[in-house]
Amino acid sequence: MTTKIQIAYSLHTLNAISTVLAVVVMALCLWLRYEWDFKHYVYELEAQQVLWTGPYILIVASSLTMATSVLGSWATVIEDCQLISLFALGSASSVVLGMAGLAYTLNHGIYHSELTPWLEERLWVLFHEMDYNERSARILRIIQEDMECCGPSDWKDYQTFNKVLPDECRSPVTGNIAGGSCAEEFARWMEPRTGWLCGLALLLVVIQMGNILISLWLRKSILLERSNDNRPYRLVGERTRV
């Protein structure tokens, strides 16, 4: 009896923790989606698929986690084996979605990922369009000023293609030319934001895996007790009443 009660309480605790983490992960994803400066960069770079796909998947995974947590808590209270099995299946689905969103975000949101070469290719397009496309010139100037960088790869890009070095490439204080690649600097700027998100998403996935194991353990304990004909079966809540 005591073992089953402890299992049930452990499952309630993990459900509460996973719900809080799911809310935090969803909040970070929504922040990445709607934060004004970042959203402006995404639209101007036409990077919606690259930078928002991972957070979208994590939003779905977090929503599923919150729904299954409520289901798991209710199934634990009434000790319904079918609902507990459904909770385990829902948790497994959220784990798969969470791992997919986590993997995509890591692969397209940090410095050592596919983000850097994608950004360099995109910035080269803007670089070559800047002479006749005001929008391309404007977003390139904004990125160079905000990220304190110069050119898709470095400041020599302007020299190589006989372009005038813009004022945004120079420090407003010292006048020195920024030596960093805009693709690399933008990826480094992204890394802390996606890094925190991925870390919390990974923790949520691990806790969900624990939820699956404990729920299956609880289901087994309930079935074993129900198969015991030596004493009548009573719910956990009934046993804890004084």
What's the pLDDT tens digit per position in 13-51? 999 999 999 999 999 999 999 988 888 899 989 899 899
Any residues with CB less than 8 A from the CB of 236 and at least 6 apart, and which? 4, 5, 8, 76, 77, 79
Decide if pLDDT at 233 tops 50: no
Helix (H) or strand (E) holding 112: none
User: What are the distances in angstroms from CA 106 to CA 111, 113, 142, 190?
Assistant: 9, 7, 25, 11
139 class by beta-carbon count within 10 Å (0-12 exposed, 13-18 middle, 19+ buried): buried
Residues 215 and 84 sit within 8 Å (Cβ to Cβ): yes
What is the three-class DSSP state of 177?
strand
| Amino acid at the residue 21 | L
Count of CA atoms in the C-beta half-sphere (13 A) of 221: 20
pLDDT category, 231, cuts 50, 70, 90?
low
Under DSSP, the state recorded for 170 is B
Decide if pLDDT at 6 tops 90: no
Tally of CB atoms within 10 A around 89: 13
The two tokens of residue 3 are 């073992």
Rounded-to-integer distance, Cα 164 and Cα 53, Å: 37
Q: What is the pLDDT of residue 170?
A: 86
Q: What is the pLDDT of residue 27?
A: 95
Decide if pLDDT at 229 tops 60: no
- Select from 199, 208, 232, 159 the least CA-distant residue to 61: 208
Rounded-to-integer distance, Cα 10 and Cα 71, Å: 15
What is the value of pTM for the model shown?
A: 0.85
Q: What is the pLDDT of residue 242?
A: 42
Beta bridge partners of 177: 170
Tokens 């997919």 -> residue: 100
Which of 97-101, 131-135, 189-193, 221-225 has the lowest average pLDDT?
A: 221-225
Q: What is the pLDDT of residue 5?
A: 82
Under DSSP, the state recorded for 150 is -
Q: Give phi and psi for 201, each to the nearest 5.
A: -65, -40
